[in-house]
Amino acid sequence: MMNETSLPTFPEPGAPVPDFDMPASHGRHVSLSMLRGKPFVLYFYPKANTSGCTKEACGFQEALGELDSEGVTVIGVSRDAMPAIEKFAAAQHLTFPLASDTTGAVTEAYGVWVEKSMYGRSYMGIERATFLIDGQSRLVQAWRKVKVTGHVAAVMKAVHALRGDG
């Protein structure tokens, strides 16, 4: 089991982000190379169909029209297998890609696979985190240990700033 000191250090704003290539909901595929030239939001959530993850995903879905008008794509990532992700996307009417990182390579590269504890038990899991990435695949802003309430609004504020109108 990794401890906090052995976790990879994520890049500072302005640094290139780690590469990724994953299957996604609705028969799609997402990769860093496919997104080059376009800013995007990459958010990590612990588990499909749980209350916090549902609230967060629905928040991004509600903001999708505004994100699209800003030219920003949103992608959710978990370690769930594709059947669970497809069920979650269908149940919540999520139209943006939800990607499956079953190998854990992406969650580890982004430093969001961390030791967590609940009821005195330690375990490894995904830290809820969001990354705003520019069209040159460089980190603009990272939100770690995200609290769902108000989070999408904070991301939107950063998106507007990125586009120069906020």
Q: Who contacts 23 (Cβ-Cβ below 8 Å, separation ≥6)? A: 29, 82, 99, 100
Phi first, then psi, for residue 115 (nearest 5°) are -75, 130
58 is annotated as an active-site residue: no
Q: For position 23, which CATH number holds?
A: 3.40.30.10
Which pLDDT value is given to residue 39?
Answer: 96
Instruction: Work out the burial of residue 123: count CB atoms within 10 Å of its CB; fewer than 13 is exposed, 13-18 middle, 19 or more buried.
Output: exposed
Say if 8 falls within a structural domain: no
Say if 5 falls within a structural domain: no
Say if 92 falls within a structural domain: yes
In tens digits, what is the pLDDT along the chain, a chain of 166 residues? 343 434 445 678 889 999 999 999 999 999 999 999 999 999 999 999 898 899 999 999 999 999 999 999 999 999 999 999 999 999 999 999 999 999 999 999 999 998 888 888 898 989 999 999 999 999 999 999 999 889 999 999 999 988 665 4
Which pLDDT value is given to residue 4?
Answer: 41
Which pLDDT value is given to residue 1?
Answer: 39
Structural domain of residue 131, as residue ranges?
19-162
Say if 10 falls within a structural domain: no
Q: Report the amino acid identity of residue 26.
A: H
Say if 86 falls within a structural domain: yes
Which pLDDT value is given to residue 9?
Answer: 59
Tell me which of 17, 22, 48, 53 is the catalytic residue. 53
Say if 85 falls within a structural domain: yes
Which pLDDT value is given to residue 68?
Answer: 94
Which pLDDT value is given to residue 29?
Answer: 96
- How many structural domains comprise the chain? 1
Say if 9 falls within a structural domain: no
Euclidean distance between CA atoms 36 and 20, whole angstroms? 12
Say if 90 falls within a structural domain: yes
Nearest CA to 10 out of 161, 151, 139, 118 is that of: 139
Structure tokens, 72: 């920003």
pTM to 2 decimal places: 0.90
Task: Check residue 138 and report its DSSP letter.
Answer: B
